[in-house]
């Protein structure tokens, strides 16, 4: 990765890159029926279902949208959505805001991701209402998930619901009461009867499981960015180490840990080092099954290292 550059370069560099990206035809999924795609910015809705996500930064769901990188233009007259939203995120150096670009946008929108249908709050939810950047990682995690699953920092249950078909029992934890209520509703909507969810603090719960000798076969850790800036990196390292150490302790031998960091201030090398230290302290022999990143529709610009923000590491604890 190139050395860090001024934040000022991010926006223009991204915009230039969109054009290059499309001209080179980097393959991206474009099946609207497969659900949402992309980096935060524009959302088209039809019959209360997600039609497409557009982005300042990459490819689009619908062929109709190709070559139209501006979010407002993306959701133009020839896209037959009922309504369109534009979502601004402070990460994009914009004020946090949701604008209705056109038509009517319901409070809640149906999004299909693989086998799961989610009811998503696009207006008030975190990020775009759904963490689309984890889409391919949920698919990867499904290759290993089994037995009792603990989904930590679960939000609407992205991992929990996707992996539930592969597991006997699933427990999801998030400190957002709204998100937890959506997990239960979305589980029922998908006919999943093996999912429970709790509004709780993951740090406390992991300690509680350790003390009460409760064990899991699969654990997902997908916390918010602990290091939002350079000054918070040391504290973030301690946080990542704590949750990974405890998760490895309560993971059954032979079990799988899917562990993520979306802090761009903690790069892949540092994250792997933290995981190695957590494994050593937990006296766990751990093998690396997969080293993954944000979905391909959340592109990484080589000259802007901050764009590689999401790390997803899949580990197996030796039997
Ligand atoms: C990156 S999001 C998780 C996305 C989710 N895994 C998915 O696939 O959709 C992080 C979540 O952590 C939750 N959170 C933050 N701190 C927490 C804590 N100490 N305990 C429990 N949940 C927490 C937030 O409410 C947020 O929903």
- Lowest-pLDDT choice from 115-119, 162-166, 183-187, 261-265: 115-119
Q: Which of 32, 152, 260, 262 is catalytic?
A: 262
Q: How far is the CA of 274 from the centre of ligand 1 (A)?
A: 20
Ligand 1 binding pocket mutation candidate from 155, 182, 206, 208 (most atoms within 8 A of CB) = 155
Counting atoms of ligand 1 from 1, which one is nearest the CA of 223?
10
CA dist 263 and 144 (Å) reads 25
CA dist 266 and 277 (Å) reads 15
Q: Which CATH architecture has domain 132-317?
A: 3-Layer(aba) Sandwich (3.40)
- Which one-letter DSSP state was computed for residue 294? S
Q: How far is the CA of 314 from the centre of ligand 1 (A)?
A: 18
- What global pTM score does this model have? 0.80
pLDDT interval class at 294 (50, 70, 90): confident
Ligand 1 binding pocket mutation candidate from 130, 153, 260, 262 (most atoms within 8 A of CB) = 153
Active site residue 57: no
CA dist 111 and 79 (Å) reads 18
Averaged pLDDT, 140-149: 98
60 lines ligand 1 (CB under 6 A): no
CA distance between the termini of the chain: 35
- Kindly report the protein residue whose alpha carbon is nearest to atom 20 of ligand 1: 201
Selection from 213, 195, 188, 191 nearest residue 151 by Cα: 195
85, β-bridge pairs: 43, 100
Ligand 1 binding pocket mutation candidate from 154, 264, 266 (most atoms within 8 A of CB) = 154
Predicted confidence (pLDDT) per residue in 177-226, tens digit: 999 999 999 999 999 999 999 999 999 999 999 999 999 999 999 999 99
Structural domain boundaries of the chain?
Answer: 7-120, 132-317
CA dist 86 and 102 (Å) reads 10
Predicted confidence (pLDDT) per residue in 160-173, tens digit: 999 999 999 999 99
CA dist 88 and 125 (Å) reads 13
Please, what's the b/e burial string for 109-127 (b: 16 or more CB within 10 A of its CB; e: otherwise)? bbbbbeebbbbbbbbebee
- Kindly report the protein residue whose alpha carbon is nearest to atom 2 of ligand 1: 224
């Amino acid at each position: 990765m190139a050395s860090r550059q001024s934040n000022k370069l991010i926006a223009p560099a991204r915009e230039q890159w969109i054009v290059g990206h499309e001209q080179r035809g980097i393959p991206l999924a474009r099946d609207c029926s497969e659900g949402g795609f992309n980096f935060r910015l524009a959302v088209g809705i039809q019959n209360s279902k997600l039609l497409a996500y557009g982005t300042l930064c990459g490819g689009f769901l619908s062929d109709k949208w190709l070559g139209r990188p501006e979010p407002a233009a993306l959701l133009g007259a020839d896209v037959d959505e009922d309504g369109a939203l534009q979502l601004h995120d402070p990460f994009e150096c914009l004020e946090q805001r949701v604008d209705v670009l056109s038509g009517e946008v319901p409070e809640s929108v149906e999004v299909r991701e693989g086998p799961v249908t989610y009811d998503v709050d696009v207006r008030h939810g975190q990020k775009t209402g759904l963490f689309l950047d984890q889409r391919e990682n949920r698919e990867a995690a499904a290759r290993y998930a089994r037995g009792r699953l603990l989904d930590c920092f679960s939000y609407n249950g992205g991992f929990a619901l996707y992996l539930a078909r592969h597991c006997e029992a699933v427990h999801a934890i998030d400190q957002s009461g709204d998100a937890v209520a959506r997990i239960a509703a979305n589980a029922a909507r998908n006919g999943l009867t093996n999912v429970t969810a709790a509004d709780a603090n993951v740090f406390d719960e992991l300690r509680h499981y350790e003390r009460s000798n409760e064990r899991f076969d699969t654990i997902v850790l997908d916390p918010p960015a602990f290091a939002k800036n350079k000054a918070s990196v040391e504290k973030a390292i301690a946080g990542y180490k704590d949750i990974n150490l405890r998760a490895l302790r309560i993971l059954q031998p032979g079990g799988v840990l899917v562990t993520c960091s979306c802090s761009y201030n903690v790069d892949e090398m540092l994250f792997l080092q933290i995981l190695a230290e957590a494994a050593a302290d937990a006296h766990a022999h751990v093998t690396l099954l997969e080293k993954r990143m944000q979905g391909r529709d959340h592109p990484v610009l080589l000259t802007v290292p901050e764009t590689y923000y999401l790390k997803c590491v899949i580990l197996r604890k030796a039997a």
